Amino acid sequence: MDIYMQAAIEEAEKGRAEGGIPIGSVLVHEGRIIGRGHNRRVQQGSAILHGEMDALENAGRLPARVYREAVLYTTLSPCPMCSGAIALYGIPKVIVGENETFMGEEGWLRARGVEVDVRQDARCVHLMREFIAACPELWNEDIGV
């Protein structure tokens, strides 16, 4: 069991329990979780708080050095916005729960030198499949469709 992916999944589950979109993320530096978050579109009426963005925001202002030594865990393949944030801060490694239900900008990240490790975790897939079946319009809104 990867404790960091487990923490990201717990964030996703918390979001679902709040009536939101079940995507969670944690930012890890030197083995320690320094930011955690989940999608808050529904909870805060937010157009920008995807899970990864929420984790980065909750980590607060950090020196460039910390980002460059950090690993971002996310339950779902990161969309263009979240991938752009990863690129902006030069986060070198992203661990992705799954990309079966949504394929983000993994190719673009890899082309920029980011290591992207996709786990295809059955729990992450299940969270998204259940949600997309229950709330297809909300999911489309979150990915600009």
Strands 24-29 and 32-38, sheet pairing: antiparallel
Work out whether 88 is an interface residue with a copy of itself (CB under 8 A).
Answer: yes
Let me know if 52 is a catalytic residue.
yes
Closer to a copy of itself by Cβ: residue 42 or 123: 42
CB 36 within 8 A of CB 61: no
31 exposure class (CB count in 10 Å sphere: 0-12, 13-18, 19+): exposed
Among 67, 73, 131, 139, binds a copy of itself (CB under 8 A): 67
Q: How far apart are CA 51 and CA 38, in angstroms?
A: 4
Q: Which residue has the tokens 């980590």?
A: 59
Fill in the per-residue mask, 21 to 50: x = in contact with a copy of itself (CB under 8 A), - = not in contact. --------------------x---xxxx--
Work out whether 132 is an interface residue with a copy of itself (CB under 8 A).
Answer: no
Among 80, 117, 122, 126, binds a copy of itself (CB under 8 A): 80
Q: Which of 52, 69, 100, 137 is catalytic?
A: 52
